[in-house]
Every structure is written in structure tokens, then in C-alpha cells.
Amino acid sequence: KAREVLDHGFVRVIDYMGDDAAICQAARVSYGKGTKSVQNDEGLIRYLMRHWHSTPFEMCEVKLHVKLPVFVARQWIRHRTANVNEYSARYSILDREFYIPRAEDLAAQSVINNQGRGETLTGEEAERVLRYLKDDAGRAYDHYEEMISDEGQQGLARELARMNLPANIYTQWYWKVDLHNLFHFLRLRADSHAQYEIRVYADAICEMVKDWVPAAYGAFEDYRMGGANLSGRQL
């Protein structure tokens, strides 16, 4: 049921409320009687998406369990219209699990886009990067364990020791969001401007949403992901 993402991550649906029919049911509250026959569900959903009638999409809700590197979590959490419960590194001990990119994902800084990637690193440079990432993470975790250990010493508070750990360590959370705001998240994070490591999570969620609400997902794909925004000047 869980979809694996990156080297140790995953996305898993815990629960959901509503479906394509629930979107239409809510939209039809607005229209009252006398409009029974308006449109079939898919047509209505496409109409709502096209005209930015977003509130009926808020009537669906999904709760995910996600395991993800901290630097991805830092981007993700910026989406405020969600409910979150994260693993506490004050309360509990983090696992020794770090995101180490695959060779083909070790990208150079883009020379044209300050916020992007260019070619894949190769040869010695790639090797050195991987060695640094692995060694530094390993050492940081060894020291984390040593610092919190209470054998023969007091043991540093976990909330302090964890600050030694790098941003590629994995965390996890429950994340619950409505479908409108999930689409907004997906539009921004399944987009080519988003960092690859969050994009793969967004892509995995896209697959799940496609199964869950196929008509809504189709409309989203057509009007938001595949669409274009022209300015008045361009028109």
C-alpha cells in the first residue's frame, strides 16, 4: 500500500473522506432544486476546476503517513493549510537513516538557474561528494548516539543532541489536507521548478490521487499542471 520514495522514504494513505461524487454533491448544494440535470459529474468537476470554484474540492480530505528527509520536510511544511503530527526528536531517538542520492541524481549547480540543477556529476567529483555525505552523516550519528548515551555519563538532552544531525536524516509525519489545497501543493511541488527530492514525493501522491478521485485529478492535470497562464499583454 505504501509507495516507496527516495532511498528510505515512503508515502502511505492512512485514511480519506469523500470522492468525485462528494465534490459534485457539495457543488450541487449551491444549485438547489431545478438543476438536477445540469451536467454529469465529470463535466461538473471540469467546470468547477476551470472557473476556480475551489470550495467543493475542499470537501474531500486525505491523511498520509510520510517518511522524508528533513530538508524536504522543511519545504513541505511551508504549506500551511494542512494538519501535521511529526515525530519528535525531543522526545524520541532518531533512526540512523540518511538520504544519499543515487549517482544519477548528483547534479551540478545550474549555470543558468540560481535555484536549479544542471548536469550530473561524474568521476572523482561524484565519488568525493558521496563519500562526504556518507561519512559526515555517519560520524554525526555516531556522536549523536555517544552524546545521548547514559552509560557512564549523564547523557545530553535529546533535544540538544539532535542539532548535530544533518538535513538528510529522515523524519516522519502524519499529514492531512483537503483536496483543493493538495492540488495547490501538487501544482507547486510536482512542477519542474521544485527540487527533485520533493518532486518525487509529489509524483507519488499524484498517482494516489489519480486512483482516489480520477475525474478531479483529470481536471487538475488538464487545467493546472498542463495548462498555461497568459498575461493580458501576451493575449
Ligand X SMILES: Cc1cc2nc3c(=O)[nH]c(=O)nc-3n(C[C@H](O)[C@H](O)[C@H](O)COP(=O)(O)OP(=O)(O)OC[C@H]3O[C@@H](n4cnc5c(N)ncnc54)[C@H](O)[C@@H]3O)c2cc1C
Task: Give contact residues for ligand X (rule: CB under 6 A).
Answer: 30, 54-55, 58, 78-86, 88, 91, 178, 180-181, 184, 188, 193-194
* 189 in active site: yes
- Exactly one of 102, 128, 189, 224 is catalytic; name it: 189
Q: How far is the CB of 95 from ligand X (least distance, A)?
A: 16
3-state secondary structure of 92: coil
Beta carbons within 10 angstroms of residue 79's beta carbon: 16
Q: Which does 15 bind (CB under 5 to 8 A by kind): ligand X, a copy of itself, none?
A: a copy of itself
Closest CA to 48 of 31, 23, 29: 23
The C-alpha atoms of residue 66 and residue 4 are separated, in whole angstroms, by 10
107 binds a copy of itself (CB under 8 A): yes
Q: Which sign, positive or negative, has the C-alpha torsion 200, 205, 211, 216?
A: negative
Residue closer to ligand X (CB basis): 80 or 233? 80
Q: How far is the CB of 50 from a copy of itself (least distance, A)?
A: 7
The C-alpha atoms of residue 127 and residue 45 are separated, in whole angstroms, by 50
- Give the pairing type, strands 82-86 and 170-178: antiparallel
* E strand or H helix at 73: helix 70-76
Q: Which does 229 bind (CB under 5 to 8 A by kind): a copy of itself, ligand X, none?
A: a copy of itself
174 binds a copy of itself (CB under 8 A): yes
- Please, are residues 174 and 84 in contact by the beta-carbon 8 Å criterion? yes
Q: Which does 168 bind (CB under 5 to 8 A by kind): ligand X, a copy of itself, none?
A: a copy of itself
Q: How far is the CB of 71 from a copy of itself (least distance, A)?
A: 5
4 binds a copy of itself (CB under 8 A): no
112 binds a copy of itself (CB under 8 A): no
Q: Please tell me what DSSP assigns to residue 146.
A: H
3-state secondary structure of 176: strand
Q: 26, 39, 41, 210: which one contacts a copy of itself (CB under 8 A)?
A: 26
Residue closer to ligand X (CB basis): 86 or 135? 86
Burial of 152: CB neighbours in 10 Å, binned 0-12, 13-18, 19+: exposed
69 binds a copy of itself (CB under 8 A): yes
Q: 4, 21, 40, 50: which one contacts a copy of itself (CB under 8 A)?
A: 50
Q: Which does 157 bind (CB under 5 to 8 A by kind): ligand X, a copy of itself, none?
A: a copy of itself
Spatial CB neighbours of 208, under 8 Å, sequence gap ≥ 6? 3, 11, 13, 62
Residues labelled as active-site residues:
189
